[in-house]
């Protein structure tokens, strides 16, 4: 038996509770992992509270991240004792996730934790940090360099935003951090932000084109914020879209695309191929300062994740919540 958060169907909605499960309830997959750490992400909070139909089948263990040790494996490349991390890949949606003491997963998206990180640090990076690195890689491949101009990060005090600020600043970019929590300005500057702006500057409906400000953008918000970011990106610049905290709509025009030649990159961390996962984790190991990671993360226990979900959705959580599933 092992402890887990379990989401079950309840009428038109769902309920989430801490319970015990049997190994026989785990899916039939190639790798059994003794989970040590998971996380609480925006998507997990939506699933736990039932505010959005994240869960595709019931019952479901939430948790889109897991980090721990392989106990048994039929997958090539993985053996008992390997320290591993898994992000996305259907965890918490169609496949039992990481908010449990044990998981059984396929090996195709599993990654060995690269040095110098341990399991707690790998969980602290999690899907948020993995997604942030995917955004950085997309901007890099587009040709956005530290000399290109300012790079905007929206929702900067959140998990993806915090890691993106740290990564971009480490590479020498002039990072402008947008947040609705201006009290977090010192925190964002400690991660490397050159300037902090109030999200109100981007949240109100704007013009089809605005002043050319950004060489690149990492957007975690969506909706009007993303539209305004596109409208104020410099000629030939790039915008990466990886979140929808502000909404799924995009009230934009084609003007930035056909008059300024900007590119909008959609960033998907769920179905990212294995080669890209390995590349992103290798770059994270080389470029993410462990001290900055420590400043971004806060630890809670497995049972605490139920209560913390509402606070995360309300925008009251700074950085990353790592979950010690053993307590």
When pLDDT is cut at 50, 70 and 90, the band that residue 170 belongs to is: very high
The verdict on whether omega for the bond into residue 163 sits within 30 degrees of 0, i.e. cis, is no
Q: What is the pLDDT of residue 298?
A: 95
pTM of structure: 0.93
Residue carrying the six token digits 């101009």: 149
pLDDT higher than 90, residue 12: no
Q: Cβ neighbours of residue 44 under 8 Å, at least 6 residues apart?
A: 62, 63, 64, 92, 97, 99, 305, 309
Q: What is the pLDDT of residue 43?
A: 93
Q: Which domains does the chain have, with CATH numbers?
A: 2-113+292-324 (3.90.180.10), 127-266 (3.40.50.720)
The Cα–Cα gap between 84 and 112 comes to: 4
pLDDT higher than 90, residue 182: no
Q: Please, which residues bridge with residue 40 across strands?
A: 321
When pLDDT is cut at 50, 70 and 90, the band that residue 96 belongs to is: very high
Give the model confidence (pLDDT) of 123-168 as tens digits.
999 999 999 999 999 999 999 999 999 999 999 999 999 999 999 9
Q: Cβ neighbours of residue 15 under 8 Å, at least 6 residues apart?
A: 7, 8, 50
Give the model confidence (pLDDT) of 247-302 as tens digits.
999 999 999 999 999 999 999 999 999 999 999 999 999 999 999 999 999 999 99
When pLDDT is cut at 50, 70 and 90, the band that residue 112 belongs to is: very high
Q: Is 215 helix (H, G, I), strand (E, B) or coil?
A: strand
| Phi, then psi, of 16 in degrees rounded to 5 | -125, 140
Q: Cβ neighbours of residue 41 under 8 Å, at least 6 residues apart?
A: 64, 65, 126, 127, 128, 159, 312
The verdict on whether omega for the bond into residue 198 sits within 30 degrees of 0, i.e. cis, is no
Selected residue with higher pLDDT from 101 and 11: 101
Give the model confidence (pLDDT) of 207-251 as tens digits.
999 999 999 999 999 999 999 999 999 999 999 999 998 999 999
Q: What is the pLDDT of residue 2?
A: 98
Chain-centroid distance of CA 185 in Å reads 21
When pLDDT is cut at 50, 70 and 90, the band that residue 52 belongs to is: confident
The Cα–Cα gap between 314 and 306 comes to: 14
């Amino acid at each position: 038996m092992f402890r887990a958060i379990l989401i079950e169907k309840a009428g038109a909605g769902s309920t989430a509770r801490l319970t015990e499960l049997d190994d026989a309830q785990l899916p039939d997959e190639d790798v059994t992992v003794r989970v040590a750490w998971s996380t609480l992400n925006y998507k997990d909070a939506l699933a736990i509270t039932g505010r959005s139909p994240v869960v595709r089948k019931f019952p479901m263990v939430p948790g889109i991240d897991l980090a721990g040790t392989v106990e048994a494996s039929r997958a090539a490349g993985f053996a008992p004792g390997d320290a591993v991390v898994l992000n996305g890949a259907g965890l918490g949606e169609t496949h039992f996730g990481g908010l449990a003491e044990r998981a059984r997963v396929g090996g195709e998206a599993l990654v060995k934790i690269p040095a110098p990180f341990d399991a707690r640090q790998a969980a602290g990076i999690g899907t948020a940090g993995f997604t942030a690195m995917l955004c950085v890689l997309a901007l890099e491949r587009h040709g956005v360099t530290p000399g290109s101009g300012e790079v905007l990060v929206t929702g900067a005090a959140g998990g993806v935003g915090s890691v993106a600020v740290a990564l971009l600043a480490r590479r020498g970019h002039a990072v402008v951090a947008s947040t609705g929590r201006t009290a977090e300005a010192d925190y964002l500057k400690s991660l490397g932000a050159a300037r902090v702006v109030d999200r109100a500057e981007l949240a109100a409906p704007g013009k089809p084109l605005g002043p050319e400000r950004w060489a690149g953008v990492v957007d975690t918000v969506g909706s009007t914020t993303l539209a305004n970011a596109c409208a104020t990106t410099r000629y030939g610049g790039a915008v990466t879209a990886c979140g929808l905290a502000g909404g799924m709509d995009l009230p934009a025009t084609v003007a930035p695309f056909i008059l300024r030649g900007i590119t909008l990159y959609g960033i998907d961390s769920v179905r990212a191929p294995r080669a890209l996962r390995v590349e992103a984790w290798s770059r994270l190991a080389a470029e993410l300062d462990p001290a900055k990671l420590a400043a971004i993360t806060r630890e809670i226990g497995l049972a605490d994740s139920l209560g913390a979900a509402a606070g995360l959705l309300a925008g009251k959580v700074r950085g990353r919540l790592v979950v010690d599933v053993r307590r």
